[in-house]
Structures are given as structure tokens and as C-alpha cells.
Amino acid sequence: MDKLVGIEDPVAEVRDGMTLGIGGWGSRRKPMALVRALVRAGRRDLTLVSYGGPDVGILVAAGCVRRVVTGFVSLDSIPLEPHFRRARSAGTIQLTEYDEGMLYWGLLAAANRLPFLPIRAGLGSDVMRVNPGLRTIRSPYADGAELVAMPAIHLDVAFIHLNRADAQGNGRYLGPDPYFDDLFCLAAKRRFLTCERLETDLFSSGPPQTLLVNRSMVDGVTETPNGAHFTSCAPDHGRDETFQREYANTDWETFRARYLDGGESDYQQAVKR
């Protein structure tokens, strides 16, 4: 029942052209060690589903991405993600732009094996114009309300990062917000969890309601201390704002050569100085 894998193993299951869901939110608790491993592996033509932050920016800059499915891409303390912006203006990536709540609803539909879920968000907005495949549905009840039929967002693979996990794939968040990491796992065929620290007796080490994912939702577990760097992973570590500014202000080739061309341990060594 042990699901421990190395950092390169989840990436080996992501093939060119697949749809990859990435947990976290903006520049918060992103599985950045797995993102870096994807860059090293040189994947191509991925569709990313994400509440986008530097995960999207890095994979776009590295040329791994064909399409981004999102409600926003932001570094939080730096509102606009520079690599995502550049790629959009250069026309080098495609975008499926949804309301944030629609993204949630699409993952929830997939998690529940439903073809769609009705939602008000999107009605009247240009989300309908830029997603010509989106359909509305009319309530069969007396209200007759017209709603957006948000289609299920199915994922080939999901990557998430949590504070604690055990070797079987149970996982706990300790920060203020679970984000939507459980839904990313439930919407995906293959699910990989990285954690700040592995524990043997996970259940006893914290309140049960912080156990966000159970082992039926996870296929592989990797311990990656500081693995969300430079995004926040409260309470283990905050966002590395200095490093994030360097990321946003450094041209991609320089940044890549300085930090991403080696392995994860080289990265962690380089960011420690």
C-alpha cells in the first residue's frame, strides 16, 4: 500500500498533449517541485487547468503549454504574471477563460461523474462569447430559469502539494485554506501528492477535518521539503517575496539557467543563499 515515489516519477506519467490539473491558488501552496520536474522533462502541448500562479507562468515560459484553462493567472503580491501576459500577447498559447466559480463547478462536476452542473456565473458576460462551446440550460421547474451548463473538467493527471502526508496517500493541509486540491484529485485519472513532511501516524497528529485527501484519491506521494517554494505554504513557510520579485523581473533564459537547469536539490541549494 506504500505509494512513495521519486520526484521524477509523477512527471513520467504526464505525456505530451495531456490535461494536467495543478492545485493551490495563485501564488499559494503550488506543487512547484513537480512543476520544476516537468520543465526538466521538457513536456510539450499540455493543457493546464489551474487557479493560475507561477506554475502557469513557468510552464508557459518553458514552452510546455498549448492551452491554459483558468479564471486568472496572478502572483498575488504581483497582480499580473509576466510570462502568461507575454505569451497571450504573442499568441503562443490558447486560453479557456472561465469565471473562478465556473472552474470550481467544472471540477465538482467531474468529481461527481456528472456531464455538467448548472451555475449562474457566466450569464451575460463575454465568457460565453470566448467559449462558443458553452451551452445554457433551462430549469424544468416552475421558475424556468436559464443557467450556464458548466461542463465537467476532466483531468488526465493532478498535482497537489500539502503540508503533511503519510506513505499511503492520506494528506493534511495546515494553512488557512484547503483551496480546491481535493477536487483536482477527484477530477483526475492519476493523482500525485507532494508534502512538506511525511508522517507515520498522520491521524493522531492533527484534527481530522484537516485531512483533505484520503488514499483512494492519491496514486503517488513524494516528500519535498520547501517544495512549494516560492509560493506560500503556511504555516511551514510564507511566500518568498524577494525571490518572486526576482522571478518576475528576470528574463526567462537567465532565470532558467540560474535555477531550473539542475535538479530539485540544486534548486533548493541555489535559493537558500
Q: Which residues bind another protein (CB under 8 A)?
A: 25, 70-74, 79-80, 84-85, 88-91, 95, 97-102, 104, 119-127, 129-130, 176-180
Determine the Cα–Cα distance for residues 87 and 30; give it in Å rounded to an integer.
21
Q: Which three cell numbers stand for residue 186?
A: 477527484
Kindly state the smallest distance separating residue 36's Cβ from another protein, in Å: 24
Kindly state the smallest distance separating residue 236's Cβ from another protein, in Å: 16
Kindly state the smallest distance separating residue 262's Cβ from another protein, in Å: 31
Q: Which is nearer to another protein, 94 or 214 (CB)?
A: 94
Q: Which is nearer to another protein, 193 or 212 (CB)?
A: 212
Q: Which is nearer to another protein, 119 or 221 (CB)?
A: 119
Determine the Cα–Cα distance for residues 102 and 128; give it in Å rounded to an integer.
12
Kindly state the smallest distance separating residue 176's Cβ from another protein, in Å: 4
Determine the Cα–Cα distance for residues 251 and 257; give it in Å rounded to an integer.
10
Q: What is the radius of gyration, based on Cα positions, of the chain?
A: 18
> Could you count the other beta carbons within 10 Å of the beta carbon of residue 45?
13
Indicate the angle between helix axes 241-249 and 54-61, nearest 10 degrees: 30
Q: Which is nearer to another protein, 173 or 230 (CB)?
A: 173
> Could you count the other beta carbons within 10 Å of the beta carbon of residue 243?
14
Q: Which is nearer to another protein, 37 or 102 (CB)?
A: 102
Burial of 256 (0-12, 13-18, 19+ CB in 10 A): middle
Q: Residue 256: name the closest of 245, 267, 244 by CA.
A: 267
Q: Which three cell numbers stand for residue 270?
A: 541555489
Q: Residue 162: name the closest of 176, 177, 175, 173 by CA.
A: 173
Q: Residue 1: name the closest of 160, 191, 156, 220 by CA.
A: 220
Kindly state the smallest distance separating residue 26's Cβ from another protein, in Å: 10
Q: Which is nearer to another protein, 84 or 192 (CB)?
A: 84
Q: Which is nearer to another protein, 18 or 95 (CB)?
A: 95
Kindly state the smallest distance separating residue 269's Cβ from another protein, in Å: 31
> Could you count the other beta carbons within 10 Å of the beta carbon of residue 221?
25
Kindly state the smallest distance separating residue 101's Cβ from another protein, in Å: 4
